[in-house]
Amino acid sequence: MCSWIVEKAAMDGVAKGPDGWMDIKQANVYFDHPFKAAMEHALIVDFVHDPDRPNGRVAIEISAESAQRLVESINRALTTGEAVHVLGEKVHA
Partner 1 sequence: MTTPYQGLMAETVTHEGADGDLISGYFARPLGSGPFPNVIVVHHMPAWDDATKWLASRFAFYGYNAICPNLYHREGPGEADEVAAVARAAGGVPDDRFIGDMRGAMEYLKTLPYSNGKVGMIGFCSGGRQTYLAAGRIPELDAAVDCWGGRVIATPDQLTERQPVAPIDYTADISCPVLGIFGNDDQSPTPEDVNKTEEELKKHGKEYEFHRYDGAGHGFFAVDRPGYRPVQATEAWKEVFKFYGKHLA
Q: Which residues contact 56 (CB under 8 A, 6 or more apart)?
A: 17, 22, 48, 49, 50
Q: How far apart are CA 42 and CA 29, in angstroms?
A: 10
Binding pattern for the stretch 12-51 against partner 1, x by CB under 8 A and - elsewhere: --------------x-x-x-xxxxx-xxx-----x-x--x
3 belongs to the binding site for partner 1 (CB under 8 A): yes
Q: How far is the CB of 86 from partner 1 (least distance, A)?
A: 28
Angle at 59 between CA 58 and CA 61, to 5 degrees: 160
Binding pattern for the stretch 51-70 against partner 1, x by CB under 8 A and - elsewhere: xxxxx-x-x-----------
Note whether 33 and 41 are within 8 A (CB).
yes
Name the site residues for partner 1 (rule: CB under 8 A): 1-4, 6, 8, 26, 28, 30, 32-36, 38-40, 46, 48, 51-55, 57, 59
